[in-house]
Structure 1
């Protein structure tokens, strides 16, 4: 770009696009200018995210805003429409129960993919936003997990949410760079003692055992086990293709296909590092899952508004849910709910009941952008 006064032309273009919009903040105007300039230079990896808003886009600005480079590991986080389409009066089929085992011990396969979406998870597609993140910055995803266990009472005959775990993950702007994860398996108790089978791992920089400490690895490889669906770069181009591929794989599993698919979707969405567009693909895939239930107006353990998308297991004991922020479409929690009174056998040997409707496992997930790996503010 060698023309004279090109910066003034970019400023004018930004002002034209925003002519009928409220006044921009300095940071929003800088981001818009950077995005347009990058597009004009043909430098998509330099794109700076616009704040989410509704606007009438000119073609050049629209092209710049849509850039997401995932093949090289560089992700330009994009904004989206922050006015998510609410649940409409559109009718969806009644959610059937997951079929149990056949008499020979095998599981019925997942049915062929529907021609149309089967639930309102489709309304998350193409909506939401990400936190602005630039080169050298880290997306910090903090996950707190409360597990079902014995409550410390004199009789030790009650169950509840105890054993609080804490996981923090620093995700670099360039996903191929070094990631960092810190994990505390019980924030209220000391770290477990080292044993012969629980030595510190090679990628660990703190902690005396592999089950608790701080770990560093490129591309988050400390948590990958080689399955394609653990890497967002491997996702198909659209949600229907993603669902078809997962369905085919689930039907070859020895365990129940629906339960396998539930586990995979929950693992995908609760990673914390998916961009708006990657989440959109997963939500579109979920809209074809015949056993998915969508529950409006729920809240996370820390009081944030959410929409729950979940699946009941085939015996009808538990519902596994992912909690979605209705504005950003980020996953802000997960939980498991008891669907019936169920006897449990803690280590003490007493028979305890999980009451119908009680939460037996829960997580909250929060996000922030920090300037260096390991920072918390």
Structure 2
């Protein structure tokens, strides 16, 4: 009988043996920038390790009748496959990660530094790992009834009519996907921290102001949105005055949208849905037009009802949704279950694509205020005034 020789138990390496196995150390003195970069990388690893220990409170998958559900590929609106929850990493691994990062710094440096491949050591400032949820499949069952309730509530809404010299004001909480390639060359899904965004626009679209101090491209006191040519007069660049000229009949609305957006985006149906969503997201829409837009959206192929979605403010509601077949991203317009008022929007990845995992929340918004004010940077009563320009 052939026996496998019994191996001698390996003894721990002493310091001399360890030194022979490791590469020769470089300059032990690191610049302050290098140390800061390593600290940022370490904190990112710790956040990634500990975030996996959070319990999964997302809803369970329901039925779906969206396009692709009968094919061999994962149905649109569903994750790639039903997977068991990822086991949480043990807290002791945080210490291991820290030791590995520090060891790499002391021996040979960290890949992705300024002298390496050029990849960022840490994600952009303020970015956090994108939340991942279990995708709730949509269905056309109940869509007609929900749209009737939503459009009815929109038509009855009492919105103030802006007068000469006044401005439309919209405040939202927002967060969007941040593209980042780590030092190891792998893409990771990060998002902006949820932060406020405020917009003031004149009814003709000629004057406006944006405040979103979280974004580096926007000064703390905001940036102008003035349009010297007199404001937008198209579906893709509308003004309030322009919106008042649109038909409110859903059939006529939808025809106009298809006609004016032909050849844009990822197909006519997806572009029509996206165009309506853009009109709703950061506008004060005349009530009868808003009702017509919701009814028009329900006629677009692939639009479904999602039983539960969550906006950027954490508010739950029902959603009118459609998945972009090109990249698997599903956009959900969220409405209050009782009043059927518009709450916000969420975009969820429905299948693994382009390095983004199924269930990743790519973007979230929540409209918290819509009003008419007398001047740029003036807020409705109770919110206080914005800081003056520098």
Q: TM-score, normalization: structure 1?
A: 0.51
- Residue of structure 2 equivalent to 1:140: 169
Q: CA deviation at 1:366?
A: 1.9
Contact 2:198–2:211 at 8 Å: present in 1 too?
yes
Contact 1:296–1:308 at 8 Å: present in 2 too?
yes
Cα distance in structure 2, aligned partners of 1:240 and 1:124: 17
Cα distance in structure 2, aligned partners of 1:266 and 1:342: 23
Q: CA deviation at 1:270?
A: 1.3
More strand by share: 1
1:122 to 148, 152, 157: 148
- Residue of structure 2 equivalent to 1:170: 200
Q: Match of 1:125, SS?
A: helix
Q: How does 1:1-377 map to 2 (within 5 A)?
A: 94-97=65-68, 120-128=146-154, 129-132=157-160, 135=163, 138-149=167-178, 158-162=188-192, 167-171=197-201, 175-176=203-204, 179-184=207-212, 187=214, 189=216, 191=218, 213-217=223-227, 221=231, 224=232, 226-227=234-235, 230=238, 231-249=242-260, 256-315=267-326, 317-326=328-337, 329-344=340-355, 354-369=356-371, 370-376=373-379, 377=383
Q: CA deviation at 1:309?
A: 1.3
Q: CA deviation at 1:130?
A: 3.6
Q: CA deviation at 1:142?
A: 1.4
Q: CA deviation at 1:295?
A: 1.4
1:360/1:177 Cα in 2 relative to 1: closer, same or farther (>3 Å)? closer
Cα distance in structure 1, aligned partners of 2:259 and 2:374: 42
Q: CA deviation at 1:288?
A: 1.2
Cα distance in structure 2, aligned partners of 1:314 and 1:298: 20
1:365/1:133 Cα in 2 relative to 1: closer, same or farther (>3 Å)? same
Q: Match of 1:216, SS?
A: coil
Cα distance in structure 2, aligned partners of 1:259 and 1:294: 16
1:374/1:364 Cα in 2 relative to 1: closer, same or farther (>3 Å)? same
Q: CA deviation at 1:227?
A: 4.2
Structure possessing the higher radius of gyration over alpha carbons: 2
- For residues 250-297 of structure 1, give each alpha carbon's deviation from its aligned partner in whole angstroms, at most 9, with x where no partner exists: 566585112211221111221321022221010111121121111134
Q: TM-score, normalization: structure 2?
A: 0.50
Q: Match of 1:169, SS?
A: strand
1:151/1:325 Cα in 2 relative to 1: closer, same or farther (>3 Å)? farther
Contact 1:122–1:287 at 8 Å: present in 2 too?
no
Figure out how many residues of one structure are paired with residues of the other and give that number: 238
1:314/1:124 Cα in 2 relative to 1: closer, same or farther (>3 Å)? same
Most deviating of 126-135 and 365-374? 126-135
Unaligned runs of 5+ in 1: 1-92, 99-116, 193-205, 345-353
Q: Match of 2:288, SS?
A: helix
Q: Match of 1:259, SS?
A: helix
1:159/1:170 Cα in 2 relative to 1: closer, same or farther (>3 Å)? same
- Give me the CA root mean square deviation: 4.1
